[in-house]
Structure 1
């Protein structure tokens, strides 16, 4: 994957903005569509006003970013989501409907630092989106990049991944996964085929992007149809209340 750098402009922090607002919906689609998949969560959280700027959003650990994305989804499209998971015990495909868990604090704050865990003589922290970007930029060394960025000695000295034993690497991987999973929204359901409990982390960023990637093109189609029929500009049509835009669209289709 090619290197990616955030856009130069920043969006001011406020109490949260509804991405369903037409201008903001199209801006979210524009920016997220051109960002690497790993970055979309941070982009959407920042555009929704839940982080002061994109630089700060990239420095949230991935669990915290997903937590905020759940709030963005709830504000924009509601808390109810549908998904499909595979039972890890019998392979049955399960269709599920859940209500997204929502954090109590609406604005991200990284002042207190990232979650960390002690593993023997090392300290491991949860990876951030920026860490994932660095790893993706060096796919042949991705694991080593993450280890060098997220692990250090207990006394603060950096870790050389080449000096770690296979056992140490395994323990550090498990610790990093554990801290990250602890912050991710989890789905728990029971498989009707084998009666085992199935647990899976929800990819909230993917769910949110899927909804935006449907809603934005649909809005653009409405704008194109009405502009062609009445000669109105995009700005005029996006400023129009949704109910009135739908009423005009119905008359074009009559």
Structure 2
């Protein structure tokens, strides 16, 4: 596994993920962290598998503690929550019991992959239909035409797909202080990992810019410099 907080890799991750489709950022980061051999393999991961690997990458680079914001489904209050990402042992144990598919009302529903999410994101007005056509099969193995599904069938299939995915993700949970409702929501670990990179990389670039201007050092020299030493030089610039 590679540490995404290492300066050169951090900037590479920021470069690549910032121009990637939002739905594909998790796959990009997992591959750059050395947890998949290539991007194609990362895109073929189930959403839950990619989330598990993103959790490992986050824990290595930024630690296991993450913060999130939940919207109360009862009163729409915005709530701040803290969660510890699973350990590697917990992720392996969860993977062993992860449901690969569900059979609902004569249909077989499989967990969506990152590639499925990308396909859905390309047609946002038809995202649900795209996922249904890619991830659902009839009992005889034939594909499903979402337009032929009844509203009840579509609702059941949506619930089954959501359950398969949510079972693999850490959950944020707390009681809403405004209405006392118990709120729970799945944590998008890939998005959390990207948020940390999107904050940390520009801050590093700002350090490099200040020090390069002050001392004439190259970016490569500054990225190779230990963080504590960069901070010491920054303090000298500030004074």
Q: Normalized against structure 2, the TM-score is what?
A: 0.90
Alpha-carbon distance in structure 2 between the residues aligned to 1:245 and 1:95: 33
Within the alignment, does 1:78 sit opposite 2:63 as a pair?
Answer: yes
Alpha-carbon distance in structure 2 between the residues aligned to 1:81 and 1:162: 40
1:164 pairs, out of 144, 149, 169, with 149
CA contact (8 A) 2:101 2:108 kept: yes
Match of 2:177 in 1: 192
Superposition deviation, residue 68 in structure 1: 1.6
Match of 2:188 in 1: 203
Match of 1:23 in 2: 8
Match of 2:222 in 1: 237
Within the alignment, does 1:44 sit opposite 2:29 as a pair?
Answer: yes
Aligned length, in residue pairs: 235
Distance of aligned partners of 1:93 and 1:159 in 2 relative to their CA distance in 1, 3 Å threshold: closer
Within the alignment, does 1:221 sit opposite 2:202 as a pair?
Answer: no
Unpaired stretches in structure 1, ≥5 consecutive residues? 1-15
CA contact (8 A) 2:99 2:164 kept: no
Alpha-carbon distance in structure 1 between the residues aligned to 2:76 and 2:121: 30
Distance of aligned partners of 1:106 and 1:226 in 2 relative to their CA distance in 1, 3 Å threshold: farther
Which one has more relative contact order, counting CA pairs under 8 Å at least 6 apart? 2
CA contact (8 A) 1:19 1:25 kept: yes
Alpha-carbon distance in structure 2 between the residues aligned to 1:157 and 1:128: 19
CA contact (8 A) 1:117 1:125 kept: yes
Please identify which structure carries the higher helix content. 2
Q: Normalized against structure 1, the TM-score is what?
A: 0.85
Which has the higher mean CA deviation after the structures are superposed, 201-210 or 87-96? 87-96
Alpha-carbon distance in structure 1 between the residues aligned to 2:198 and 2:20: 13
Divergent runs of 4+, >4 A: none
Alpha-carbon distance in structure 1 between the residues aligned to 2:156 and 2:173: 26
Q: CA RMSD in A?
A: 2.1
